[in-house]
Amino acid sequence: MLKILVYIHAPAQTPTKGQRELLALAASLGEAAVVLGDNADDAARAGLHGAGATAFYGAVTPEQLRGELIAPAVSLLVAAVRAAGADAVLLPNTMEGREIAARAAVRLDSGVITDAVAVDQELNVTKSVLAGSYTVRARITRGPALITLKANSVQPAEAQDSGAQVPPVQTLELGESGPAARITATAPHIASGRPELSEARFVVAGGRGVDGDFGPVEDLADALGAAVGASRAATDAGWIDHSAQVGQTGVTVSPQLYISAGISGAIQQKAGMQSAKYIVAINKDPDAPIFEIADLGIIGDLASVLPQAAAEIRRRQG
Ligand SMILES: Cc1cc2nc3c(=O)[nH]c(=O)nc-3n(C[C@H](O)[C@H](O)[C@H](O)COP(=O)(O)OP(=O)(O)OC[C@H]3O[C@@H](n4cnc5c(N)ncnc54)[C@H](O)[C@@H]3O)c2cc1C
């Protein structure tokens, strides 16, 4: 049976959807163990255990993980791979996940595959390349496979209370992590109340066409319970925070529904959203490239289309 490690950067009281997706994929491939990127109390571990984790690895000195950027996390992951004799490691396809995977692969003399959307029993990985223009299958030929999984690619594991004893954490020495950037201060992220963009099932995104006013985009997002995304033109203009940027140099999303409003559909934007299950595009230019990949295209002014859509959704919700 394959031994699969899942790297969980920030264990929460209840596992997030992204964490449950990683665990579901790991459990479908073999025995799923979790590497804890921070302290996880009994409740947090019970949640991960209920979602499929059969063992836990953590740091003897978790404060080291919190005090520096990713170097100690890499040391922990490498130590856990060796302790578990892991065949593969699954990580989130975030900036952090990809960087940790890359550094760990160098130390393990192995390989990394990013942007994965599926993995089979032989550890063949399906992924999209060249800004999403092609889907390819790839396989790591040497050492444990380090794979970063795109959000919303697999059905998340249901968190169940099995009543079974939660396995203890096997602690590992991190040793000297080498030159590392130190964290001198942190500030809590101000929660918008909307779902996390990279994990959201629905995304409403606005581009230059919103002309500075994200109000209609946000209103439709709230009617749908969606996250708000944006094109680079909109984030560069300062109309919305850079963390909302979807695309090659922003967040990659794979929601069930992506509503694109006032976005032309440049290749760098498509790279971050074209694996969405359904794409609805609203643009006043009938020749906009976004219509080439849209399941439903609406030629019109977003200032008029978005409020009508929000009103209709609220009416149907009663
Ligand atoms: C290296 C590199 C990396 C990049 N990374 C990214 C990235 O990660 N993400 C990203 O998005 N871009 C990225 N870009 C930029 C990208 O090339 C485009 O410039 C950008 O996506 C354009 O944003 P936009 O579609 O909002 O603006 P535009 O291309 O200006 O399109 C605006 C659209 O809005 C429509 N419109 C205008 N008014 C209305 C209205 N009232 N109602 C309806 N439609 C309207 C117009 O018809 C037009 O199609 C990158 C570029 C480079 C070179």
Nearest CA to ligand 1 atom 38: 209
Looking from the CA of residue 264, the nearest atom of ligand 1 is 49
Domains 2-172 and 197-317 belong to one CATH topology: yes
Q: Which residues of 220-230 are buried (b: 16+ CB within 10 A; e: fewer)?
A: bbbbbebbbbb
Residue closest by Cα to atom 23 of ligand 1? 233
State the distance from the centre of ligand 1 to the C-alpha of 263, rounded, in angstroms. Answer: 5
Nearest atom, ligand 1, residue 303 CA: 41
Specify the CATH number of the domain 197-317.
3.40.50.1220
CA of 194 to the centre of ligand 1 (A): 23
Q: Contacts from 305-311 at CB under 8 Å and sequence distance 24+?
A: 305/261, 306/216, 306/217, 306/219, 306/220, 306/261, 306/282, 307/216, 307/219, 307/220, 309/220, 309/223, 309/259, 310/216, 310/219, 310/220, 310/222, 310/223
The pLDDT score that the predictor gives to residue 65 is 83
Q: How far is the CA of 233 from the centre of ligand 1 (A)?
A: 5
pLDDT of 210-247, one tens digit each? 999 999 999 999 999 999 999 999 999 999 999 999 99
- Looking at the domain 2-172, which fold is it? Rossmann fold (3.40.50)
> What per-residue confidence (pLDDT) applies to 131?
62
User: Which residue out of 95, 228, 235, 269 has the highest number of ligand 1 atoms within 8 Å of its CB and is therefore the one to mutate?
Assistant: 269
Domain positions in the chain are: 2-172, 197-317
| Residue from 236, 241, 242, 268 whose mutation best tests the ligand 1 pocket (most atoms within 8 A of CB) | 268
Select from 130, 208, 290 the residue to mutate for testing ligand 1; criterion: most ligand atoms less than 8 Å from CB.
Answer: 208
pLDDT of 110 reads 97
Q: Which residues line ligand 1 (CB under 6 A)?
A: 207-209, 231-234, 245, 247-250, 262-264, 266, 268-269, 272, 282-285, 288, 301-303
Rounded Cα distance, 176 and 138, in Å: 34
Nearest to 261 by CA among 213, 193, 198, 224: 213
CB 84 within 8 A of CB 7: no
Q: Which atom of ligand 1 is nearest to the CA of 302?
A: 42
Residues of the chain with pLDDT under 50: none
What's the CA-to-centroid distance between 211 and ligand 1, angstroms? Answer: 12
